[in-house]
A and B are shown apart, each in its own frame.
Chain A
Amino acid sequence: MIRQLRRVLGPEHQGRYTRFLVWATVYGVLQGLAVSLLVPIARSLAEGDWSGAWRWIGVLAIAVVCCGIAHYIQAMRAFNVALVVLRTMHLNIGDHLVTLPIGWFAGKTGSVAQIASKGTMAAGGAAAHLMTPVVIGIAAPASVTVSMFFFDWRIGLALLVAAPLIALAARAAAGLIARSEHAAHEAAAESSERVIEFARCQPVLRAFGRTSDAGYPPLTEAIATQQKVARRTMVESVLGLALNGVAIQLVFTALVVLAAALALGGDLTGIDLLALLGVATRFVQPVSEIGEFGGALRQIRGELTRIQNIMDTRPLPEPTRPATVTAPGQVEFDHVGFGYEPGTPVLDDLTFTVPPHTMTALVGPSGSGKTTITRLIARFYDVDAGTVRVGGIDVRDQTTEDLMAQLALVFQDVYLFDDTLRGNIRLGRPDAAEAEVDEAARLAGVTEIADRLPNGWDTRVGEAGTALSGGERQRVSVARAILKRAPIVLLDEATAALDPENERFVQRSLQTLREHATLVVIAHKLSTVVNADQIIVLDEHGRIAERGTHDDLLARGGRYAAFWHERSSTRGWRLEAARP
């Protein structure tokens, strides 16, 4: 864990961390030494050597002062280290996240946010509060053992032999406990998941007669299983605790017996026996405590590993000498191959060109790679084979800023910031004039949303999360794109067409965008497909099945034509369809 923390801290803060560890060690050693002074003081007292006793007490007083100072310094240093760890991790994670490909975040934002917020707090706290007892738990007994050799080498030797035994037992015990806790935790998590599912699916469960009286068997089973597992693991837990206890007892008993035997043989005075055994008890305690921290240490190690995993993710390579755009508004795929997982290609040898100021519609069954194409244009991921060129230049030879400046994205997952409605649109171009924001909002139909909301334009959308429907979010996203005036617009029509009203706004916006920009649309509306300058029909294997205009493709009588005929015949389901 020390190593992990060092890595997290990086070279500039290493010294600070080392100094804290040194002070903690000093404190532990001093503590052990101070307690060991009990032996000479007790001896002096027993011999009635008062001046000797006061001299040793004077030494003890000095030791106490040193201990106090060391304690204070190490405590404050520990806290400083905790703060530095916390801040360094916050900043490093932030710095690193901005360099990662956007695609990396898919489905991960929740857990990454957890790690970055809760994980860093836990790791920072551990650096301070967990390391101290662990360091002291090693340093203090070590110094007690060493000083014991000065008083009685046999007791010292016994302690030296005992230390690893206790540590081993504590480790084994902690392992047992951790394993059982893990099992219990799994079972608890499963039953929690079931409770959450029960809540999430409550409408459906009730609608289909699974009210609480009837019961929902998977849930009842999960709770019962959890009880069973908990009882079983309890036994393991108790065994672990007992193992730890027994080891300490064995050592202590052995010490008592050894001391008693020595005293009986006349090799040890009564007062030495008392003092030495007494100091030995101070030795046993911290060693066994290290075992108790095992669980917490493991947990922190887990957090640190998760943080490290984020830090180890390779950033998106940025070109050292970025090229300037040669063909504004043009998108080209040149023998592109790509897969999210090695061995399962999503796109296979894809080649096409989207000329400037044209509209291209992507059509195909789900899983055919339509969304992936738009993601590759925006370089959410890097291709496995071939080249994606935007503005005439390979996306890998452009900086993220330069690439993104050419693109406006209207995708399915619209993220709105906890800001005003206006602020969220303005994100498209922060230096846009008020009138331009208004115009974009009007075109995309956000004005209507603002009219409906109690605080109008100044409604914070984070708070109004429930007030904005999916379609309305999409409109905000469209407004952002209009405001941005990027030469290329990537648009997923999917959620945009939730209701006729949204559809109207999205169609209107498309017309506006088309006047200035190249459009690549994942098409769901017939009108979009028909109006496209180029239709790319993808097949299930991520290859281009057909390419051309609507009329070309109809005339060819292939896949698109078949689809078109089916579609025009059903054109919307009719409510009377299945009536007798």
Chain B
Amino acid sequence: MTATVSTEPEVAPTVREEEPPPAEEAAKAEARASSQALSDLLAPARPSITAGVILQVFGSIATIAPYVAIAELGKTFLAGGEVDRARVWWICAAVVVALLARTLLSGAALSVTHFADARLQGIIRTRIVERLGRVPLGWFTQNSSGLVRKATQNDINDIHYLVAHGAVETTAAITVPLAGLAYLFVLDWRLALVGIATIPFYLVAYAVMARGMTAKMLEMNQGIARISATIVEFVSGISVVKTFGQAGRAHAAYRTAATRFGDAYGAWVRPMLRTDALATIPISAPAVLLVNLGFGTWFVREGWVSVVDVVTAALVAMSLPAAIMTVSFGMQARREAAAAAKRITDLLATPVLPEPADPRVPTSAQVRFDGVGFSYDGQHKVLRDVSLTLPVGTVTALVGPSGSGKSTLATLVARFHDVDEGSVSLGGVDVRNIATDQLYRQVGFVLQDVQLLHATIADNIRLARPDATLDQVRDAARLAQIDDRVLALPRGYDSVVGDDALLSGGEAQRVSIARAILADPPVLVLDEATAFADPESESRIQTALAQLVGGRTLLVIAHRLASIVSADQIVVLDRGRIAETGTHEELVTADGVYARMWRAHQGQADSAVAGEGETR
């Protein structure tokens, strides 16, 4: 319930196998939603895309020019009599100009859209960042980093194709054949019809193939997701299965899954591919040539058209179908981009933490829970009817078995989530009525999951007070028992975390403590994470943590009973309820849950000190 980013890779990816086969309708509705999402997301780039498309239209027209020029050359030579030399060279010059124009126009079109894409990526990233800055902190603990990663890396890339290439390339794919077709009609309407005669065969075959394809694609994608999950689990778990001598079994299961997937994949794709292979034959260049020359020979014989026209028409007709292929390829990319856009817009629609309309300023550092009830999923209550007051300047320790709601309760003070029932208040003001930045000026936390930024050690420590001097930073670091370690780094306080400052868990912990010491918030939530470091480091962490005590309202999520015996107030949680509250002496006397825990703890400690060797 504290941020569990570090444990993420240990969770095997979930694949929902029991999902009913999605109806075609549902798939289409999904596609429509994606399409709408895409159009909203692309809005800022729209004018540039339009400009790119217009440039490309002219570029496409210029593409046809060489064919026209060759035809004119042919005609000039076949005209009989003395060849008009000047005309020949003018036509050659026209070819050069047309080709140049095409390159310039297409280049300009792509440049415009690429610029637009770069700008759009910035806009989307900024929007994501703005959103993330306002969603509840609790959201970040629930596998959200995967979502953000996918959105900012893969999804933005998928959209890149659409913005930077898609529209312009599709335009080229459509306008080039249209211009060609128009030219064919200028030559002769019969030639024009023959030129596109084979395309219907392809379209019919394609339509047959496309029937039920959306659902089929979905099924196939699920298959791919499943095999990927199997592979991921096999690879991630291989060391475990090996250590239990189960490698053979897991390996066999993997082989079966891989073989089965190969068969299924073949069964999905082969029929589609067969239709596609057959459908593209009629629009292949040789077939188009055959049809054009066949009919052309007849037309010439009837005296309807000239030989030059037939040959020119055949040449132009051969270049038409290529466009269709580009368009159908573009459709796939568009679908992917649409799905990516949907994921990004979903991310951008994450509910934000409501900001108070009329924010109030807390008057003290007293924290109060009043009848608090909370659940993560709306079903299983994690906290029930918790009422508790943390007086100013006192230490309150939360104890209880894992899963009892300690961490959840503590993070509610920092408004990681909003409560379902009751209220959490700071200085007499409900935390929901305190402006976020104001709240975090009052409430700090040091959590188990140490979050260090990819920045210098000094900047990490002075996070809350960017204007702190190096001396102040070092004072805090000294109190947190990390100063000497930082000085031993290659660049001291200028070493960058993750680059040349490679810290152990315990050291990172101490840097985060130094950060809290420097920030000095009036209310501090502290997760007493220990025991994952080595013993020597552990005692230093404890010394460091001790620096945070005193002068503030402290809420400690305690794991070691020995450290909290002198807390002003110990709160024992059990299954989301407060089981007991009191000082150490009171609770031991009360002989309840805490007393039992304490005795168990004492037993260990005593035997350890006595060196006898029996534990209970």
Contact = CB atoms under 8 A, between A and B. Distances in A.
Given A195-B148, A209-B464, A237-B114, A34 B289 contact: yes
B122 A223 contact: yes
Contact of B440 (A194, A207, A238): A207
A264 B85 CA distance: 8
Interface in A27-55: 30-31, 34-35, 37-38, 41-42, 45-46, 50, 53-54
Contact of A428 (B244, B318, B437, B549): B244
B559 A530 contact: no
A71 B454 CA distance: 54
7 contacts: A45-B296, A105-B235, A270-B73, A278-B315, A497-B531, A526-B605, A575-B567
B546 A578 contact: yes
A454 B437 CA distance: 38
Nearest to B285: A35
B266 to A, nearest CB: 5
A500 B559 contact: yes
A202 B147 CA distance: 15
A471 to B, nearest CB: 5
A41 B307 CA distance: 10
A257 B10 CA distance: 68
B115 A188 contact: no
Given A63-B286, A452-B403, A530-B607, 20 more contacts: A45-B311, A57-B290, A61-B290, A90-B261, A102-B239, A105-B238, A118-B228, A196-B149, A212-B130, A226-B118, A260-B91, A270-B75, A270-B76, A400-B242, A401-B245, A415-B240, A417-B233, A465-B12, A484-B244, A524-B534
A262 to B, nearest CB: 10
Closest 4 CB pairs of A and B: A212-B133, A270-B77, A573-B542, A572-B562
Interface stretch (B25-33, B96-104, B335-343): B96-104
B69 A234 contact: no
Contact of B235 (A60, A95, A116): A116
Nearest to B138: A203
Contacts, number: 524
B609 interface: yes
Interface in B524-575: 531-539, 542-543, 545-550, 554, 556, 559-567, 575
B258 interface: yes
B436 A206 contact: yes
B125 interface: yes
Contacts of A237: 110, 114
A563 to B, nearest CB: 7
Contact of B145 (A196, A205, A242, A572): A196
Given A34-B285, A75-B273, A208-B463, A196 B152 contact: yes
B237 A38 contact: no
Given A363-B535, A498-B402, A98 B251 contact: yes
Given A211-B133, A567-B535, A68 B281 contact: yes
Taking chain B's interface residues, is the majority helix, strand, or loop, or is none over half, making it mixed? helix
Contact of B311 (A72, A274, A503): A274
Nearest to B128: A195
Given A415-B239, A563-B535, A231 B115 contact: yes
Contacts of B273: 75-76, 79
B20 interface: no
Nearest to B545: A573
Interface stretch (B443-451, B470-478, B487-495): B443-451
Contacts of B114: 230, 234, 237-238
A271 B78 contact: yes
Interface string B175-218: 00000000000000000000000000000000000000000000
B363 interface: no
Contact of A112 (B235, B244, B565): B235
